[in-house]
Amino acid sequence: MEPNTLLDTRISLLIDARQADKSFWNGLNQYLLKTKQDTEFFCLVKDIYTDKSITDWSVKNKIQQVVFDKNKTLFQNMREVAAAVSGSSILLLFNTLLPVANLVQTLQINKKQIATNKLTIGSQNNSIKSSVGKASFAVKIFNTLTRLFTPINVRDANSGVVFGKTQTLLPLLNHQLISTNDYQQFLYLLNAYEIPVNELPLTSEKRVPVKLLKAFSQIFELRINYFIKDALWQIKKEPVNLSDGNSPVYRLAYFTCFLLALFFMPLLSQDFGSTWDEKAHNDYSQLSYNYFTSFGADSAALAESTNSADFIRQAYRYYGEQLNTIAAFVYNWAGTGVYETRHLINSFYGLLGLIFTSLIAFELAGWRAATLALLFMFFNPGWLGHSMNNPTDIPFATGFAFAGYFMIKVIRTLPRPKFAHVFWLAVGIGIGIASRVGAFLIVAYFGLFLGVNWLNKFKEKQKDIGKLILPYAKLLIIVTIIGYILGILLWPYGISNPFKHPFEAFSKASSNAFYTNNVELFEGKRMYMLTTAPWYYVFKFLGIGNPVYLLLGLLLSVILIKPLKAKVGLGNIAMLLFMVFFPILYAEYSNLNYYNGWRHYLFILPFALPLAAVSYDYLLSRRKYIAIGSALILAVLFAKPTYWIIKNHPNEYVYFNELTGGLKGAYGYYETDYYSNSCREAAEWIARKHPNDSLIIGINNETTTAAYWAHQINPRLNFVWTRESEEQKQSWDYLILTTRTFSKNELLNGSFPPKGTVYTVEADGVPLAAVIKREDWNMPRGYNSLLKQDFDSAYYYFRKATAYAPKDEETWRMLGFSLINRSSWDSAEMAIRKSIEIYPENFSAYSNLGLVYFNRKEFKKATQAFDSSTTYKENMVESWYYSALSYLNLNDYNNAIKQLEMAVKHNASIPEVYYYLAKSYDATGNTQKAADNYQLALSINPNFVQAWGDLAAVFTKLGKQDFANQCLEKYHALGGK
């Protein structure tokens, strides 16, 4: 620090004296009478103070009063006054509450601590120990809230005292700080323009009072001043330089885009339908609400599932469910619509993720990059679509965006990060954990990056590097604990046992415990996602499900790594690239399963988008022809998905890019409306068509996806779920079908939309859902005949159904099934093969084909057919069972055991499965396992006569004759011979 001689020359005091009272002027007069310091005063006043003691000093040019111009900002007025300043240093006072004499005396006493190359601001916090000067609770709260909710990071945000070189301060008055109207705005702009400051303790025992309300209002006021007023001032003052990525034009553009997103996202959320899993989320949120409002007395939210009907709902106890719980509180207390409220809150989470993603780009490259990132995020079809009705993946991704931004700020300021940044990093972790426990990954990221930062300092041979280990570890522990606590606050299962349940949930999440039996269309094939999804599933969906400009921008971040290294920093690029690719690679390494496109990986967008934005920002800052060319290419690439979003609202998330020919090219090859959003439009169409009728509406999705919205128009409509392979079974008047249960062949050969379709929900000319009006009743009649075991009538009705709808695989499959029951094996095979021709991945038809071969005693062919059935859908218990029986007829007991074990995996309540498993083990010499499985069969069906007889024989082999005799007694009692 260079020697300070500022206080040995004249000091010019610029004072905002609009609120000055008589005591201030008297104090000024007394100071001038006694001081030996060469000082001059310039006071901005409402009205000229005419007391003779002051006017005399005015004559001597010691005090100048200037009437404040209300049409100008405070610093505009100051600037004009400062033109007459003759001192080498300036003491700037934003109020008249602190005695001038004390302030100047403090400066004199501490002049060695005053940096000549920085502004010095006064701080009254912890500077004196007398009870008079002690900070009040209100002052502490004001300063804490200011540090937490604004970028201001000083101990005292209210003193209003500034000191510095005239040559340093005057240019700031003329340029960066020109829009300042109060001390907090001044501090905010100092931080925004990265103007260095030094804090100096003040010895005055008189404190500047605070208004707690302002601590909250300034959260918004300071940002409005910076993004609008200050930006407009800067634009007005200086020529616009578009090559400067931090030009105030981009700052204003960013804020404008933010305001538009703030307006449109909640508004657009009300257009979206419910997703297939949203009812279960909402049902569980009610249990969560009951848990908290009863202070834990109602513990249904913690219970294990009791049956398959509540399995998915109760599985959500392992999720944080923060958004869902908040929504339940809101609509229960406010009386608002359930799903309307959920979608509104969902959109705010999406907006929050958008903001912090763009702020990551700002942190790296400025406001132009931030604006690009914001636009990229808002017009990303996946993000925008899921922001409206995805209550898990969006909050989870938002937690990553939130934490990622503050993680960068913390890492950049090590080893002494700001408390506010550390706190908000923990909040981001909490948001993530409160949605899905996998957000522990953020903690792992932070620990890794702390370690890399320390190793880098070690490599640079910085002094006392060993002393940083404990502070770094302490920082990681603090962030983890705060984030963990915040993450479980609204999580019933987590908070009920905070030292066990969250870790249990993490273990289950890591072992696919929550996986559902999804069969989906991928690359033109219907796949059972648990076992047949290829390793590149997520990579491919990310590649075809995101706009090309994002993919190109991500590629550019690697290609341009050398120049970006100088602009952004190699560490930041590496950090973001790691957070983009590591989760996908780790998921593949860990054999985690995939389904529903790339929605479970939305959390990598907050790191991919800033990389793309920074890459384009770099190109836009290059020579004119490069900048213009890059802008034109980006505009063209950006325009298409943007237009697509506008045109196809509210089905944004079914977007596919040009690499697969858009949605039209993807149709038939990939799942489109996998989340059931289109069901709302279809249901509302029926309700408007029949506003007063009582009708039965079938649907191949969760019924609430349609019923909730249709009932607001016509509550008399009765929605019933139609099983995937039994869509024609119910006696519905209308049927709503989405494409998620159809094969490539059906979608491309005219089977969908099916015959009888009267309305389709479309995106980009591609059908997402069809409304079918019942014109032919032969299918439900055929099913009813089967139920009555009237197989001749069933055959009659199903044959007529094939004539009505020859492209419907179900009609042919059920015709074949009726022929099986008539023992017409060859005709049954022909009908079933027709069904498979229409739908090649027809697991149900292959199961029926296996039955044909089984009954014809062609057991080898039967095993092949059953194998095809279980390949296309693993939980086909019937196929595993009959496949095992086929192997038993082939005396292949080992394969029979494998088939039966798979049957048990998917349904552990069928006694016959255990019975034949026992027989297979007995045949292979594993007598004890045979005994165990016979007993399992009997525990389910105690009247299983043959099992008692066979168990007696096994006990005899094991030398347990007493048990064998008991089994024989039971066998004979039940009629065994």
Is the model more confident about 25 or about 239? 25
Q: Which two tokens stand for residue 684?
A: 């509302």
Distance of alpha carbon 729 from alpha carbon 735, whole angstroms: 11
Q: What are the angstrom distances between the C-alpha of 443 and each of 428, 466, 498?
A: 10, 22, 17
Bridge partner list, 525: 522
Query: Is the Cα torsion angle 631, 636, 638, 643 positive or negative in sign?
Result: positive
Distance of alpha carbon 187 from alpha carbon 222, whole angstroms: 10
Mean pLDDT of 801-825: 96
The candidate with the shortest Cα–Cα distance to 817, out of 791, 843, 838, is 791
Task: Report the amino acid identity of residue 54.
Answer: I
Distance of alpha carbon 304 from alpha carbon 627, whole angstroms: 59
In a domain, 557, yes or no: yes
The contacts of residue 312 (CB under 8 Å, 6+ apart) are 277, 280, 516
950 within 8 A of 919, measured Cβ to Cβ: yes
696 within 8 A of 718, measured Cβ to Cβ: yes
Cβ burial of 578 (10 Å; 0-12, 13-18, 19+) is middle
Residue 208 — very low, low, confident or very high, per pLDDT cuts 50/70/90? confident
pLDDT at 517: 66
Distance of alpha carbon 778 from alpha carbon 804, whole angstroms: 9
Note the pLDDT tens digit of each residue in 143-187.
Answer: 899 999 999 999 889 889 999 898 888 888 888 899 999 999 999
Together in a domain, 40 and 82 = yes
Together in a domain, 904 and 862 = yes
How big is the CA angle at 498 (ends 495 and 504), to the nearest 5 degrees?
Answer: 110
Cβ burial of 817 (10 Å; 0-12, 13-18, 19+) is buried
List, as one string, the DSSP characters of 581-614.
HHHHHHHHHTT----STTGGGGGGHHHHHHHHHH
In a domain, 571, yes or no: yes
User: Would you say residue 933 has pLDDT above 90?
Assistant: yes
Q: List the domain range (segments joined by +) for residue 872.
A: 824-973
User: Would you say residue 127 has pLDDT above 70?
Assistant: no
* Whole-structure pTM value: 0.91
Together in a domain, 850 and 947 = yes
Give the end-to-end CA distance of the chain in Å, rounded to a whole number.
Answer: 106
Mean pLDDT of 940-954: 92
Mean pLDDT of 704-718: 97
How big is the CA angle at 487 (ends 484 and 493), to the nearest 5 degrees?
Answer: 100
In a domain, 805, yes or no: no
User: Would you say residue 545 has pLDDT above 50?
Assistant: yes
Together in a domain, 293 and 191 = no
pLDDT at 132: 41
Distance of alpha carbon 918 from alpha carbon 340, whole angstroms: 54
Together in a domain, 212 and 301 = no
The contacts of residue 932 (CB under 8 Å, 6+ apart) are 918
In a domain, 471, yes or no: yes
pLDDT above 70 coverage of the chain, percent: 97
User: Would you say residue 24 has pLDDT above 70?
Assistant: yes
In a domain, 531, yes or no: yes
How big is the CA angle at 965 (ends 964 and 970), to the nearest 5 degrees?
Answer: 100
Helix and strand counts by DSSP (H, E) for the chain: 45, 14
The 10 Å Cβ neighbour count of residue 187 is 25
User: Would you say residue 932 has pLDDT above 90?
Assistant: yes
Distance of alpha carbon 976 from alpha carbon 442, whole angstroms: 64
pLDDT at 312: 73
Q: What are the angstrom distances between the C-alpha of 245 and each of 172, 248, 253, 917?
A: 21, 9, 12, 71
Last residue of a domain, one of 236, 268, 300: 236
User: Would you say residue 378 has pLDDT above 90?
Assistant: yes
The 10 Å Cβ neighbour count of residue 369 is 31
pLDDT at 130: 39
Distance of alpha carbon 389 from alpha carbon 599, whole angstroms: 12
The candidate with the shortest Cα–Cα distance to 121, out of 202, 48, 219, 4, is 202
Q: Which two tokens stand for residue 169?
A: 């301060």
Distance of alpha carbon 323 from alpha carbon 328, whole angstroms: 9
Is the model more confident about 775 or about 316? 775
Together in a domain, 11 and 72 = yes
Together in a domain, 231 and 290 = no
Residue 6 — very low, low, confident or very high, per pLDDT cuts 50/70/90? low
DSSP 721: E
Residue 668 — very low, low, confident or very high, per pLDDT cuts 50/70/90? very high
Distance of alpha carbon 902 from alpha carbon 884, whole angstroms: 10
- Greatest distance between any 2 Cα atoms in the chain: 130
User: Would you say residue 198 has pLDDT above 80?
Assistant: yes
Q: Which two tokens stand for residue 936?
A: 């399992």
- Flag the least confident range among 262-271, 687-696, 788-797, 867-876: 867-876
User: Would you say residue 532 has pLDDT above 50?
Assistant: yes
Average pLDDT, the chain: 91
Mean pLDDT of 635-659: 96
Together in a domain, 850 and 898 = yes
Indicate which CATH number applies to the domain containing 190. 3.90.550.10
The 10 Å Cβ neighbour count of residue 241 is 11
pLDDT at 305: 78
Residue 513 — very low, low, confident or very high, per pLDDT cuts 50/70/90? low
Together in a domain, 881 and 744 = no
Distance of alpha carbon 860 from alpha carbon 844, whole angstroms: 19
94 within 8 A of 72, measured Cβ to Cβ: no
pLDDT at 128: 42
Last residue of a domain, one of 709, 738, 773: 773
* φ and ψ of 561, to 5 deg: -60, -30
Mean pLDDT of 549-574: 93
Q: Coil, strand, or helix at residue 930? A: helix
Pairing of strands 757-763, 766-773: antiparallel
Is the model more confident about 830 or about 39? 830
- Flag the least confident range among 91-95, 361-365, 801-805: 91-95
Residue 611 — very low, low, confident or very high, per pLDDT cuts 50/70/90? very high
Indicate which CATH number applies to the domain containing 920. 1.25.40.10
Interhelix angle 501-510/469-488, rounded to 10 degrees, is 90
In a domain, 802, yes or no: no
Distance of alpha carbon 269 from alpha carbon 529, whole angstroms: 30
* φ and ψ of 655, to 5 deg: -65, 140
Residue 214 — very low, low, confident or very high, per pLDDT cuts 50/70/90? confident
Together in a domain, 644 and 691 = no
Rounded to the nearest angstrom, the gap between the alpha carbon of residue 82 and the centroid of all alpha carbons in its chain is 51
pLDDT at 308: 66
Q: What is the dihedral of CA 136, 138, 142, 143, to 10 degrees?
A: 20
CA atoms within 13 A on the CB side of 466: 0
Q: What is the dihedral of CA 218, 224, 227, 233, to 10 degrees?
A: -110
The 10 Å Cβ neighbour count of residue 203 is 16
Interhelix angle 791-804/778-787, rounded to 10 degrees, is 160
Question: Exposure pattern of 421-455 as b/e (b: 16+ CB <10 Å)?
Answer: bbbbbbbbbbbbbbbbbbbbbbbebbbebbeebbe
pLDDT at 1: 42
pLDDT at 269: 97
Distance of alpha carbon 915 from alpha carbon 912, whole angstroms: 5
Note the pLDDT tens digit of each residue in 40-76.
Answer: 999 999 999 888 888 888 888 888 999 999 999 999 9
Mean pLDDT of 954-976: 90
85 within 8 A of 171, measured Cβ to Cβ: no
Note the pLDDT tens digit of each residue in 468-497.
Answer: 899 999 999 999 999 999 999 999 999 999
Task: Report the amino acid identity of residue 613.
Answer: A
The 10 Å Cβ neighbour count of residue 628 is 12
User: Would you say residue 514 has pLDDT above 80?
Assistant: no
User: Would you say residue 5 has pLDDT above 60?
Assistant: no
The 10 Å Cβ neighbour count of residue 334 is 9
Together in a domain, 297 and 427 = yes
Residue entry with tokens 């599932």: 305
In a domain, 65, yes or no: yes
Residue entry with tokens 């096994």: 954
Mean pLDDT of 575-587: 92
pLDDT at 735: 98
List, as one string, the DSSP characters of 41-109.
EEEEESS----HHHHHHHHTTSEEEEE--TTS-HHHHHHHHHTT--SSEEEEES-S-S-HHHHHHHHHH
Note the pLDDT tens digit of each residue in 881-895.
Answer: 999 999 999 999 999
Distance of alpha carbon 436 from alpha carbon 509, whole angstroms: 9
Residue 212 — very low, low, confident or very high, per pLDDT cuts 50/70/90? confident
Distance of alpha carbon 33 from alpha carbon 25, whole angstroms: 12
Together in a domain, 698 and 585 = no
Q: What is the dihedral of CA 174, 175, 178, 184, to 10 degrees?
A: -120
DSSP 305: P
List, as one string, the DSSP characters of 360-390.
HHHHHH-HHHHHHHHHHHHT-HHHHHHHHH-
Last residue of a domain, one of 604, 627, 648: 648
Indicate which CATH number applies to the domain containing 730. 3.40.190
Number of domains, the chain: 4
- Flag the least confident range among 14-18, 255-259, 461-465, 666-670: 461-465
In a domain, 669, yes or no: no
